[in-house]
Amino acid sequence: MTGSRRYEERAAPAACGTIWRSAFAGDESVIVPDGCMDLLWTGEELLVAGADSHARVFAPGQGGCMIGLRFWPGVLPQLLRTGADHLVDSVVRLDSVIGLDARRWETRLAAAEHSALALVDLAAGAVADLQLDRRPVCVAADLGSGLPIVQVAERTGYSPRQLQRLAGQWYGYGAKHLQRVLRLRRADRLVAAGHTRAGAAATAGYSDASHLWRDKQALDEPHPRAANRSTGLPSGSVMTA
């Protein structure tokens, strides 16, 4: 997410994700896709943010704060028992997905002195109670490392067509699109770490820096239809209670 904000995050491996908190001003920000899904706590309600397929604009109109838990790709759909393809490019109330069980989480978060810790504890408990299928996590890691989709499919025992279908359920979009998103985010991290754009492009698996730039324009430039969703809340990095 770009724009005026204060942001911090830390790993939460027990919850299979990263807990973050952020405070934002009222100006517009751009949220770029990262292949992940989040739970967002506004201080009043718990929301589910599906994976973004492309960048979108977040225009809150006023300042605010929020905490969120960004799950590893393929984890949150298992906890919700809902295909990621039903939530892609959307932000919805958690109770619209899992019903009254969401109220228990919201009650716990509202009463917590440290809502970020409470959100991690709730998610970690849900992960522990679930026989988590690690295949989506492993497939995303392989795709993010730059392995060809055919090879990733072979490693998991699927045909490329089967993997493409399963990827929609696991991540919200196909394996090829997820790979583009993860490759671009990897290149961004390399540039932030001090690599040249050309060096980052080569390490991340692009043919050249121009290829990286074309992907960045295609994925990180908001489309006109990608302005605020009905909740007016972002589905990536956001803010804190």
CATH no. for residue 168?
1.10.10.60
For residue 4, the model assigns a pLDDT of: 56
For residue 5, the model assigns a pLDDT of: 65
Predicted confidence (pLDDT) per residue in 168-226, tens digit: 999 999 999 999 999 999 999 999 999 999 999 999 999 999 999 999 999 998 865 54
Q: Does one domain contain both 31 and 104?
A: yes
**What is the C-alpha end-to-end distance of the chain, expressed in Å?**
18
Burial-class residue 88 by CB neighbours within 10 Å (0-12, 13-18, 19+).
middle
- b (16+ CB within 10 A) / e for 29-57: bbbbbbbbbbbbbbeebbbbbbbbbbbbb
Taking residue 92's Cβ as centre, other Cβ atoms within 10 Å add up to 17
pTM of the model: 0.88
For residue 54, the model assigns a pLDDT of: 94
Predicted confidence (pLDDT) per residue in 68-96, tens digit: 999 999 999 999 999 999 999 999 999 99
Q: Is the pLDDT of residue 230 over 80?
A: no
Predicted confidence (pLDDT) per residue in 141-169, tens digit: 999 988 999 999 999 999 999 999 999 99
Count of domains forming the chain: 2
Q: Does one domain contain both 105 and 25?
A: yes
Nearest-10 Cα torsion for 77, 155, 188, 63 = 0
Q: Does one domain contain both 167 and 124?
A: no
For residue 240, the model assigns a pLDDT of: 28
Q: Does one domain contain both 67 and 159?
A: no
Among 82, 105, 133, the domain boundary falls at 133
Q: Is the pLDDT of residue 11 over 80?
A: yes
